[in-house]
Amino acid sequence: MSKTGSREERELVKMLWDADCAAMRAPASGGATKKPLPDIIAGNGKIYLAIEVKSSSKDRIYINSQKIEALLEFSNIFGAQPYIGAKFLREKWRFVRPEDLYRTKQENFRLDKELAFSKGMEFDELLGKSKQVKFSG
């Protein structure tokens, strides 16, 4: 996967536009500015999303706590729903709420592939187009 995630960001922006959502990559996300910007901002007049995009070829993604804090701050100011958009190699996108992430001993966050697929939402579910049936075992 691309180191910066820009390919995945562009893919997700295209998916959002194809689903009738206006979407854009935040040009200064990733620490280039002091402002708390997520990777992607999207909306359709009914739903507003702020998405921090992460991808991995492994089964685990680590996320710096500053990224999550910035995502939450932006979402609160903008009125958006915050999500981590996770793209694991050869898997569909999953969207996880920040509060569902695992907090590490170093005060950062971790997203395991298993958690992404048990608690995370699929793309259509994120947009309110379908509900995923989850069975507890």
Question: Which tokens sit at 87?
Answer: 């793209």
**Domain with 29 in it: what CATH number?**
3.40.1350.10
Across the beta sheet with 109-112, what order do the strands follow?
60-63, 109-112, 102-103
Residue at 133 is within a domain: no
How much is the pLDDT for 107? 86
| 84-101 pLDDT tens trace | 999 999 999 999 999 999
118 catalytic residue (yes or no): no
Residue 33 has pLDDT above 70, yes or no: no
Residue at 85 is within a domain: yes
Q: Please give the tally of structural domains in the chain.
A: 1
**Given 2, 6, 29, 130, the catalytic residue:** 29
Residue 1 binned pLDDT confidence (cut-offs 50, 70, 90) = very low
Query: What is the span of the domain harbouring residue 46?
Result: 6-126
> What's the pTM?
0.87
